[in-house]
Structure 1
Amino acid sequence: MANFRPRPSDLEATIRRLAIDPDNVRWRSQAYETHAEKRQGERDIFDDMMFDVLRTGYLAGDIEPGSRPGEWKAKMCKAMRGRREIGVITIVINMQKLFVKTVEWEDLR
């Protein structure tokens, strides 16, 4: 199955389901500041906003293979009430865990 790629609707559902439990999502490190943490601080995107996008947003763009077998890279997006649209680039690991690579404002203001 070298050409296997999850269907967007299936991957979106998996991300939403996994994000319900914060223990399934990694974006912080005790040893160093991650890229996602740096971008959150620079862009004023808070943890609750990121989780809202992961739990209720939509899959935007293409699904790409991750750097390791069993990984899929995808972007979840959502327009926040009274705010701009947020994108959360996420790596789905073996359909069991999420790693947030970065967060961004989609309109690039």
Structure 2
Amino acid sequence: MKGQENGAYPGPARPTFTPAVVPDFGTYSHEQLLAMVEHADEHKIGAIGLRLQEAAQTIGEVGQGLKEHMVRLEWDGEGARAFQAWGADMSNATLHRAWRRADVTDARRTGPARSR
């Protein structure tokens, strides 16, 4: 954990986040891919896609707001540095999630995700 390596963070370690495993769809045959979606309701899928886009936008706004708030904090000392490091990590992770969600949603229309 950031900050614990030199004893700067005396509290208990926080659990780490483990992202979900995403299948490598490139290894599936066309028949397997077709079987996954052949009975799907395109209207429901479209509605879910729109909700995901809205969620990505909101998550991005939260991440940006957190990032902007962290820079305006007037706080000094070891606790401030630890909190600012945590805030930077949290806002960056939040923005990364929003970008990834937007990339996945965009890929439906435009092709593979952009690299960031």
TM-score (norm 1): 0.23
**Higher alpha-carbon Rg:** 2
TM-score (norm 2): 0.22
